[in-house]
Structure 1
Amino acid sequence: MSQPATPLSEQEQQQLVRLIGRAMLPALPPGWAKVRAEYRAAGRHIEVDLAFAAADGQWRPVRPPMDVVQLFGQLRTGMYAADRGTWLSAVYEIEAPSQFAVDFNAEDEPRWRNAPPVIGFQDELRTFPRADDRIPDWLRQRVGLPPRVEVVPPGELRTAHVYDGRDEAGRPVVNRQTVDPQLREALLAYLEAAPVVLAARDLDVDEFAPGEQDVPLNFRTDGTWIWAGAVPHYLRKHGLPPEAALVRHIVDRDFRVADVDDATKDRAVALITAS
């Protein structure tokens, strides 16, 4: 595997960040109030969007200067960390006259304008190697790697994520393999048969169907995993798959819910209420 160039120091990174901001300015007309640059990359696949807003608040796209593209690339390479890789997307915002903020994303899949080909993701891992446990599930799927097997120590409870994160607009993001249709009903039966350890009478808002309030506010556990009522609800209603590791766990148990003792239920409640 190829190794990136020597990592940049914190001071060098900050200097590049300032240079990127200055490089945007020639593309902007007089009277701009805000500017926003989005950089997305996987291997040699690169996407850059640049837009500005004037006093009316309306965003207008402009062609990003080549210096902006090249400097972002230098920063991405220079921020590589052994075993952890580097960031995949960045959002750089400036508000006149001089306020700015930069957000880097190394874990969630960017919102591509055009999704890179498989070779782009393969190049990403060749150029910026990551330890196996640092490769997100969505990236493993993109390059054809098997799902990561995570070993949970005996007696330790693990909480399932309902989805994988949120996009810049606050909407839930999901990057998971679809559930085999032949397993769907058995999974639902298992997820809805495990004992409830915490519940509320109200129903929560469906984050995938704004305006609908039908999501059960409860938590269940099988003694190894804890999951919210939203997990089976979204699987049944929207086909949203649970975490791959939870699905494997249920399959390995042959879809049979074991008895859960009171001490384990109490530990589950303590974990839920502490989060």
Structure 2
Amino acid sequence: MSQPESPNTTGAGAPGTLDEQAQQEIIQRIGRTLVQALPPGWSQVSVRYRSVGAHRELDAELTAPNGTEIPLAPPAELGELFARLRHGMYRENRGTWTSATYRLSRPASYSVDFDGEHEPSWENHPPHAEFAAELRLYPRAVHNIPGWLAERAGVRVPETATAADQLRRAEVFDGTDAVGRPVNNRPALAADERDRVLEYLERAPVVLAARGYDSDRLDPTAGSSVPLTFHTDGSWIWPGAVCYYLRTHGLSPQPELVDHIRRRDFQLPYVGDEARELAVAAITEEQQS
């Protein structure tokens, strides 16, 4: 049994602003809401949520103690919670998941699986316009668009891609003048925002580091003091020099990176091993080119 969901927006602000703790809070609330709706004597229940664009589907199935599977009408609030979770788990250039399965077993054991790569098993196939809407709502780098989504959204995906194509690289300066001095044309950050941006940049994991330090190009008297490191948040890569020049000279990162950090509400996402390895591959590709 499928319960269609309202196409209304979640009202949760910009996509991708839920940190790990906020995600877990919503997942736990899903469990509590579900338990309150279950009849006595239940053994296990599964809830499936599927969404693309504004098209949403929600259904649930109860397993009785004797193993019988019974369709269950899930509370409408569950759809709202899943929608908030999907919206908040968006990752820039990587999109968000399109299906989730939540399983709860008596007395309090649960698991939740998210899938953004494979097409959901739709109860009612979404209109084609919703696949294009998905990419407008939750943009992905073209190389991160699954084939099924690209086909239905009318997007052409190249057959091959490099790691460097999937991550944006922040430049330390805007360029150099005729005699090689750094050129900067960036608006300064207010003091309070500068501190928040700097915290984000410095807390992001270091994925590559070389021994020693580089010279300070804005203050030759400072000697070798610029760290030879690279950080990533899974969407962008930036040299440790970006942090150094912001902290030491007040030089703002390039505006696109600052806008990205603002959209994330200055909350650094979890950066897993796969994202770190991709960043290392991207840095290596650029250094070899």
Match of 2:227 in 1: none
- SS at the partner of 1:77? helix
Equivalent-residue separation in structure 2 for 1:89 and 1:126 (angstroms): 18
Matched, 1:114 2:124: yes
Contact 2:142-2:157 at 8 Å conserved across structures: no
Q: Give matches, 1:1-275, under 5 Å.
A: 4-150=14-160
RMSD: 1.8
Equivalent-residue separation in structure 2 for 1:146 and 1:127 (angstroms): 18
Q: Deviations over 1:193-216 (max 9, x none)?
A: xxxxxxxxxxxxxxxxxxxxxxxx
Q: Deviations over 1:163-198 (max 9, x none)?
A: xxxxxxxxxxxxxxxxxxxxxxxxxxxxxxxxxxxx
Structure 2 unaligned residues grouped into runs of 5+: 1-12, 163-289
With CA pairs under 8 Å and 6+ residues apart, which has the higher RCO, 1 or 2? 2
- SS at the partner of 1:50? strand
Match of 1:155 in 2: none
Contact 2:15-2:89 at 8 Å conserved across structures: no
In the TM superposition, residue 28 of structure 1 has moved relative to its aligned partner by 1.4
Contact 1:4-1:128 at 8 Å conserved across structures: no
Equivalent-residue separation in structure 2 for 1:128 and 1:5 (angstroms): 8
Contact 1:27-1:63 at 8 Å conserved across structures: no
Q: Deviations over 1:22-56 (max 9, x none)?
A: 11123211000101000000011000011111101
Q: Which amino acid aligns with 2:118?
A: D
In the TM superposition, residue 6 of structure 1 has moved relative to its aligned partner by 4.8
Contact 2:16-2:89 at 8 Å conserved across structures: no
- SS at the partner of 2:85? helix
Q: Deviations over 1:97-152 (max 9, x none)?
A: 00000000010101111111111111111101101100011111111122423168
Q: Which amino acid aligns with 1:103?
A: D
In the TM superposition, residue 13 of structure 1 has moved relative to its aligned partner by 0.4
Q: Which amino acid aligns with 1:53?
A: T
Contact 1:93-1:100 at 8 Å conserved across structures: yes
Contact 2:48-2:59 at 8 Å conserved across structures: yes
Equivalent-residue separation in structure 2 for 1:151 and 1:85 (angstroms): 17
Equivalent-residue separation in structure 1 for 2:81 and 2:43 (angstroms): 23
Q: Deviations over 1:221-268 (max 9, x none)?
A: xxxxxxxxxxxxxxxxxxxxxxxxxxxxxxxxxxxxxxxxxxxxxxxx
- SS at the partner of 2:60? strand
Equivalent-residue separation in structure 2 for 1:6 and 1:105 (angstroms): 16
Q: Which amino acid aligns with 2:112?
A: V
**Cα–Cα, structure 1 residues 4 and 125, in superposed 2: closer, same or farther, change >3 Å?**
farther
Q: Which amino acid aligns with 1:112?
A: W
Moved over 6 A (4+): none
Aligned length: 151
Equivalent-residue separation in structure 2 for 1:50 and 1:130 (angstroms): 30
User: Which deviates the most, 89-98 or 141-150?
Assistant: 141-150
**Cα–Cα, structure 1 residues 31 and 70, in superposed 2: closer, same or farther, change >3 Å?**
same
